[in-house]
Amino acid sequence: MITLTDDMKKMIAHNLAYVATVDDEGNPDIGPKMSVGVLDDTHLFFYERTARQTLRNMRANGKLVIAVANRATKKGYRFFGTLRLHKDDQIYADAIDFADKHGLKHPAVVPVLAVRRVDLLDAGPKAGTTIAQD
């Protein structure tokens, strides 16, 4: 797995991230997820609350990409990896506790992405360049 840098962690912490999935017919789906965060040095997570198309797609094929960018600096990252949906375990229990403490809807699942590749989303000639891959 890829070890997330401090810059990657800050980017996730301070900017809106988007998750992209694809259905079984190859139709893409993308949406903002305000709950994307860093679980540890090699994993990203979010709380899947809507339990609609994104969840259907993840369950169908396990494909997920998380992208985050800062408009002002024109820099960002795209994260690829191995997806695992958490329900009925400690990661999910922690998400329920967080939701209860903050008056939020409980997530249907907590998707966790083990990061295996990172691409730059910086504006200019380096856009889309893979900067880390295992």
Where along the chain do its domains lie?
A: 6-120
Q: Which residues contact 81 (CB under 8 A, 6 or more apart)?
A: 1, 2, 44, 64, 113, 114, 115, 116, 117
Can you give the pLDDT at residue 117? Answer: 98
Rounded CA-CA distance 130/59 in Å is: 26
Can you give the pLDDT at residue 44? Answer: 98
Can you give the pLDDT at residue 52? Answer: 94
For the entire predicted model, the pTM comes to: 0.94
Can you give the pLDDT at residue 7? Answer: 97
Quickly state the pLDDT bin for 62 (edges 50, 70, 90).
Answer: very high
Model confidence over 82-129: pLDDT tens digits? 999 999 999 999 999 999 999 999 999 999 999 999 999 999 999 999
Pairing of strands 43-45, 17-22: unpaired
Model confidence over 13-53: pLDDT tens digits? 999 999 999 999 999 999 999 999 999 999 999 999 999 99
Can you give the pLDDT at residue 68? Answer: 98
Write down the CATH number for the domain with range 6-120: 2.30.110.10
Please state, as a whole number, how many other Cβ atoms lie within 10 Å of the Cβ of residue 2.
19
State the Cα angle at 40 between 30 and 109, rounded to 5°: 45
Q: Characterize 29-50 residue by residue with b for buried, 16 or more Cβ atoms within 10 angstroms of its Cβ, and e for exposed.
A: eeeebebbebbeebbbbbbbbe
Can you give the pLDDT at residue 75? Answer: 97
